[in-house]
Amino acid sequence: MKKITLILSLLVLLSVLAACGGGGSAPAAQPTTPPAAQQPAAQPVAAGDPVKGKESFATCAGCHGMDGKGIQGLGKDFTASEFVKGQTDEQLLAFIKVGRPATDPANTVGVDMPPKGGNPALTDADLLNIIAYIRTLQQ
Ligand code: HEC
């Protein structure tokens, strides 16, 4: 009889230990949540949505063409643009908001690139969507 009591109490002890072990593993899974929640704050510029960008791109298509290949004597070709390739989304956003007048010595075609393509209603988010769309046109 004593042996059975001993075995039973050992079993109880084991199940208590197992419960503690199970409880201990739950908090270990938690630290993965906070870094994921912090990620958006670490990225100041969120990548745009190319599908929405295609809709807003109508503003730019008048000079750059709906296919982004540029229209002779107007906007430049995006598909082969080293400039676009070499710029971050943030830098392109800054460029598009300011544009580049024909009088700017850096202007290569002698035609105005108007601020925001001449559409002041475009928000930063709209422009980032457009930038995402332009990137899909790149070869
Ligand atoms: C009125 C015509 C016109 C419109 C509309 C226009 N652009 Fe432009 N864009 C130009 C011209 C001209 C240049 C070339 C300027 C130069 O030679 O430096 C240019 C250059 C650019 C460049 C630099 C390309 C390179 O390879 O150097 C980007 C990026 C750009 N435009 C984006 C846009 C976006 C985005 C829109 C729409 C929101 C837009 N443009 C609307 C005329 C236009």
Ligand 1 centre to CA of 44 (Å) is 24
What is the pLDDT, as a whole number, of residue 47?
A: 87
Residue type, 4: I
Residue nearest to atom 6 of ligand 1 (CA): 117
* 24 — pLDDT class (breaks 50, 70, 90): very low
What is the rounded CA–CA span in Å between residue 78 and residue 61? 11
Ligand 1 in reach of 59 Cβ (< 6 A): yes
Q: What is the mean pLDDT of residues 132-136?
A: 96
Q: Which atom of ligand 1 is nearest to the CA of 57?
A: 37
Closest alpha carbon to 63 in 71, 52, 51:
71
Closest alpha carbon to 99 in 64, 138, 52, 137:
64
Within 8 A by CB and 6+ apart from 90, the residues are: 44, 45
What is the pLDDT, as a whole number, of residue 18?
A: 54
What is the pLDDT, as a whole number, of residue 42?
A: 47
Residue pLDDT, tens place only, 51-76: 999 999 999 999 999 999 999 999 99
Q: Is it the case that residue 26 has pLDDT exceeding 60? A: no
Rg (CA), the chain: 29
Pocket test residue of 52, 55, 64, 91 for ligand 1, highest count of atoms within 8 A of CB? 64
What is the pLDDT, as a whole number, of residue 139?
A: 83
What is the rounded CA–CA span in Å between residue 138 and residue 3? 79
What is the rounded CA–CA span in Å between residue 43 and residue 34? 15
* 128 — pLDDT class (breaks 50, 70, 90): very high
Pocket test residue of 57, 63, 74 for ligand 1, highest count of atoms within 8 A of CB? 63
In this prediction, what percent of the chain has a pLDDT beyond 70?
Answer: 68
Q: Is it the case that residue 91 has pLDDT exceeding 70? A: yes
Q: What is the mean pLDDT of residues 105-130?
A: 96
Ligand 1 centre to CA of 59 (Å) is 11
